[in-house]
Amino acid sequence: MADVFPPDTVRCDACPVLCYIKRGQTGACDRYANVNGQLVRVDPHILLDHAKSQGTPLVPFLEREGDWDGQLMKSQETFVTAIGAGTTYPDYKPAPFIVSSEVEGVDMVTVVTEGIFSYCGVKIKIDTDRHLGPERNFVRAHGEPVGHVTTAEYGSQMLSLGGVRHLTGGSKSEGRVTCETLLDLSNGKEVELTIDEGATIRVAAGKPPVVNGQREERMRVGCGSATIGMFAKQWFGKVDDVVVVDDHITGVLSEHQAGKLLGVRETGIGIVGRRSTPGRYFQVAEPGTGWGGTNISDPLTILKPFKPKFAWPHLRLLMVSTTGEQYAYYELDEKLRPVEKDLPEALKESVFRIRENCEPALTTVLFMGGAGGSLRAGVTENPVRLTDSVKRKLTRVTCGGAPAYIWPGGGITFMVDVTRMPENAFGYVPTPALVAPIEFTLKKEDYALLGGHVDFVRPLVEVLAEKERPRLASMPQNPWPLKPFAGSSES
């Protein structure tokens, strides 16, 4: 029996929720509305304009009469993004826009769609030396588990949020909060997260993280051992020993190979922790938010008594963290005990140099998703051919015009830096799932060979003539997505 709609109501088929929308109202996702009985995509459909460099006129001097068709940008300088384009749901429908254009004498096709992603998440890189929480522990938003802490990388803590199990495998509240968190992070908004047995953080793509209310300023220059190697020459002759405190690898100048090669004298220093190789120590303290990502505020707690056989009164010792934010200078008294003194002028420059070599602390958000049935079927009736074309680099994948990294292996699993995309490029549907723009660009001849929906290809000039669409300048750090490929499927 066919559905009977209430008066002045339309049914939206853009996602599996299938909302009934009354006249003048929007669906549950706020992306589709009933305008005078017609289903209309609410958000604007975004185009990108490409200028080769700042200051280049949009309409250059014409070499021949009739070169200009009245458009401010040539068609090859306009890229149709998927932001605001609409979706392919249900799977068998061709993509909302399959656009052809001629670029540098090559016929190109761009297939444009907003994908509905249940299999998606974000990977977050947080530049900080501070311990955020034990690996594998839950990361929570509004009390709901939305991801976990994963393996730390050099100078950064890493979080993995989202994924189908959090979106659909838990409670309704967990799925809703996970979707909201992913959407906000992908759209560049700040989100507060708590980590079980760890810190409370505020993060936003491209901005410094805030850990337990403290704004991070610097990413560490390296581990303690690397710091010793980099700055050993600058300390030589100005101090007798240096300890660079680090949660991972604490470095000691007099024992380190860099110190040995310079001829630094043995000092009889003793370090709490597990000795790895000369001058490199693990587990000098518990992880935390203190010196070098440890839980200490007093660096002397990691020192054992100096060995009288090697140490001497007035021995000069510098202790410093991997960011140079914490430092202390000591001299041994007659009983070989460290006594704190003012930092000598000769050492101030080296501490400043450590800070100078620490890059600004930022939060990086990478959206990650798997392009499955709806996306591929919207491009071709034989989806595996699209996968093969992407893997063979015959098809370029972009998200809102930004380059996407394609993971090796099966399927089309991609990642994109959200700061390289236009603002508010992401949406959601209350299934719950994220909606992300994705574009596939390839030569027109290759599109036909992979079994694409060639009957639905429309010239770019026709799309541009339909209605006014917002135009954004392409980001200068992004390669122009319409640039033709060197090869073809026949090569």
Asked if the model's pLDDT at residue 73 lies above 50, the reply is no
pLDDT value of residue 27 = 86
pLDDT value of residue 343 = 97
Q: How confident is the model at residue 36 (pLDDT cuts 50, 70, 90)?
A: confident
pLDDT value of residue 151 = 95
Q: What proportion of the chain, given as a percentage, has pLDDT over 70? A: 92
Strand partners of residue 402:
399
Asked if the model's pLDDT at residue 91 lies above 80, the reply is no
Residue predicted with more confidence, 130 or 485: 130
CB 198 within 8 A of CB 137: yes
What is the mean predicted confidence (pLDDT) over 363-368?
98
Model pLDDT for residues 300-325, shown as the tens digit of each residue:
999 999 999 999 999 999 999 999 99
CA distances for 30 relative to 21, 161, 295, angstroms? 11, 24, 46
Asked if the model's pLDDT at residue 487 lies above 50, the reply is yes
* 201-204 long-range contacts, CB within 8 A, separation 24+: 201/126, 201/132, 203/124, 203/126, 203/363, 203/365, 204/363, 204/365
d(CA 271, CA 299): 11
Q: Is 357 exposed, middle or buried (0-12, 13-18, 19+ CB in 10 A)?
A: middle
d(CA 231, CA 258): 9
Model pLDDT for residues 6-31, shown as the tens digit of each residue:
778 888 887 888 888 888 888 888 87
d(CA 360, CA 352): 14
Model confidence, pTM: 0.86
- Cα angle for residues 92, 95, 96 (degrees, 5° grid): 125
Residue predicted with more confidence, 42 or 7: 42
**DSSP letters for 91-151:** TTSPPSEEEEEEETTEEEEEEEEEEEESSEEEEEEEE-SS----TTPEEEETTEEEEEEEE
d(CA 17, CA 394): 35
Q: Is 429 exposed, middle or buried (0-12, 13-18, 19+ CB in 10 A)?
A: buried
pLDDT value of residue 75 = 56
Q: How confident is the model at residue 88 (pLDDT cuts 50, 70, 90)?
A: confident
First-last CA distance in the chain:
52
Residue 79 is given by DSSP the state E
Residue predicted with more confidence, 247 or 57: 247
d(CA 405, CA 420): 13
Q: How confident is the model at residue 5 (pLDDT cuts 50, 70, 90)?
A: low
d(CA 329, CA 347): 9
CB 96 within 8 A of CB 83: no
What is the mean predicted confidence (pLDDT) over 175-180?
97
pLDDT value of residue 214 = 93
pLDDT value of residue 42 = 80
Instruction: For the chain, give the mean pLDDT.
Output: 90
Which of 51-60, 71-80, 185-194, 457-466 bottoms out in mean pLDDT, i.e. has the lowest?
51-60
Which of 169-173, 239-243, 334-338, 462-466 bottoms out in mean pLDDT, i.e. has the lowest?
462-466
- Cα angle for residues 462, 464, 469 (degrees, 5° grid): 145
Residue type, 406: I
Model pLDDT for residues 409-463, shown as the tens digit of each residue:
999 999 999 999 999 999 999 889 999 999 999 999 999 999 999 999 999 999 9
pLDDT value of residue 1 = 44
Radius of gyration of the chain (CA): 29
Closest C-alpha among 203, 205, 202, 250 to residue 223: 250
pLDDT value of residue 72 = 43
Residue written as tokens 């000039």? 461
d(CA 178, CA 184): 10
Which of 3-12, 29-38, 382-391 bottoms out in mean pLDDT, i.e. has the lowest?
3-12
Which of 73-77, 115-119, 284-288 bottoms out in mean pLDDT, i.e. has the lowest?
73-77
> Count of CB atoms within 10 A of residue 278's CB?
12
Beta strand 210-211 pairing with 200-203 = antiparallel
Asked if the model's pLDDT at residue 272 lies above 90, the reply is yes
Q: How confident is the model at residue 55 (pLDDT cuts 50, 70, 90)?
A: very low
In a 3-state reduction of DSSP, which class is residue 345?
A: helix
pLDDT value of residue 25 = 87
Model pLDDT for residues 181-238, shown as the tens digit of each residue:
999 999 999 999 999 999 999 999 999 999 999 999 989 888 999 999 999 999 999 9
Residue type, 399: C
Asked if the model's pLDDT at residue 56 lies above 60, the reply is no
Asked if the model's pLDDT at residue 491 lies above 60, the reply is no
d(CA 422, CA 80): 13
Residue 387 is given by DSSP the state H
d(CA 247, CA 191): 27
pLDDT value of residue 450 = 93
Q: 251 is written with which tokens?
A: 């470095």
